[in-house]
Structure 1
Amino acid sequence: MAKRRLIKALAALLAVLAVIGIARAGGLYLNHTASYPRGLWQKSGDYDPTHAGEHPYVLACAPGKSVRREFIERGYLPWGFDCDGVEALLKRIWAVAGDRWTVTDAGIEVNGQLVPNTQPLTEDSAGRSMPVQTGGIVPVGHVLLLSDYHPRSFDGRYFGTTPIKDLISEVTPLWTESP
């Protein structure tokens, strides 16, 4: 009886992994975080810098292996396939090379314009201090990733700018929950 349950559980796991593999091969991304609406997102290709003023959605790796390790240990980043065993981040590009970004008590300002829902938290939900950035000028070859959707999103306000080489793909919502 226990052997039969084990076989059924393994078969179910293999079926789930097969569906995930097929979806990934088809360019689909399942967002299960609160940073943007949960659901299926379609990869639409490499980041196109001409879309920057439109604040495109992108999948990206959090910058730096050592940074990712710390954030995994804190539970901010789950296991995943895309970024050295870490889940990719789903964010929007809010600033590009040459843009000025500033961290204020009200949130992140990009070129003097406040980005909604970006007020930095000084502590996480476990009471640990957050590594809030100070801002600056986005360097060449980098972008600033933020979420204007969820105020507790883990984004550039905590890790700064992201190298463009760490962007995986632009994405568009395909089938998501209502905001």
Structure 2
Amino acid sequence: MKKPIKILAVSVLVVSVSLFVLSIGFQISGIYINTTPSLPVGFYRIVDEPIVSGAYVAFCPPQIEVFDMAINRRYLNRGDCPGGYGLLLKRVFAQSGDTVFIDQAGIFVNGEHLPNSAQLKADADGHALPQYRLQSVLDDSEYLLLSDLNPQSFDARYFGLIARDQIRQVVRPVFTWSH
């Protein structure tokens, strides 16, 4: 009876170490793996392109209270960003010169309502979500980052704008698939 348990333990260890080594290899080669429903699941590659509306970006969240809450509630992973936050991947929906309006009904950019952008009052566990409000014309250092795929995504509708210096890279999908 002890032999199958040993084999299982060794197998789990081998798989865990293999996945760890593979993830390091991806990071070194400039590949991100997205497993969240905020963007299409799959592999994203760092590209040398400007930050424009429609681009996907990887960013370090700023060290503010809403991201501390997000870590505690496991909306985002721990990582190497300041504050112990993990990098987030989101899509750029507004940049310099765009007019942004955020309320419970959703996010409007230049008067156009963005799909799946309405704020929820509570998360799946019943915890109250921040009810962020904004009406602004964005300056050169401000970006609106969110998911248009997932109406439950933790994004700009709850934390607002992200500064240019928080954005690490522009990323492009290499291989993605539906949930």
Task: Tell me the TM-score normalised to structure 1 length.
Answer: 0.85
CA displacement at 1:69 relative to structure 2: 2.0
Structure 1 partner of 2:164: 164
Structure 2 partner of 1:178: 178
| More displaced stretch, 77-86 vs 115-124 | 77-86
Q: Provide runs of 4+ in structure 1 moved above 6 Å.
A: none
CA contact (8 A) 1:63 1:159 kept: no
CA contact (8 A) 1:92 1:146 kept: yes
Structure 2 partner of 1:72: 71
Return the letter of the residue paired with 1:151: P
Decide whether aligned partners of structure 1 residues 147 and 43 sit closer, same or farther in structure 2, where only a CA change above 3 A counts: same
Cα RMSD after superposing both structures: 2.2
CA displacement at 1:113 relative to structure 2: 1.2
Structure 2 partner of 1:144: 144
Identity of aligned pairs, percent? Answer: 32
Residues 1-179 of structure 1 mapped to structure 2, 5 A cutoff: 1=3, 5-45=8-48, 48-49=50-51, 52=52, 54-82=53-81, 84-137=83-136, 138-178=138-178
CA contact (8 A) 1:91 1:147 kept: yes
SS of corresponding position for 1:173 = strand
CA displacement at 1:7 relative to structure 2: 4.0
CA displacement at 1:83 relative to structure 2: 5.7
SS of corresponding position for 1:19 = helix
CA displacement at 1:139 relative to structure 2: 4.0
Find the aligned partners of 2:73 and 2:11 in 1 and give their Cα distance.
34
CA displacement at 1:97 relative to structure 2: 3.0
CA displacement at 1:106 relative to structure 2: 3.5
Task: Tell me the TM-score normalised to structure 2 length.
Answer: 0.85
Decide whether aligned partners of structure 1 residues 13 and 166 sit closer, same or farther in structure 2, where only a CA change above 3 A counts: same
CA displacement at 1:65 relative to structure 2: 4.9
CA contact (8 A) 2:45 2:172 kept: yes
- For these two proteins, the number of residue pairs brought into alignment is 175
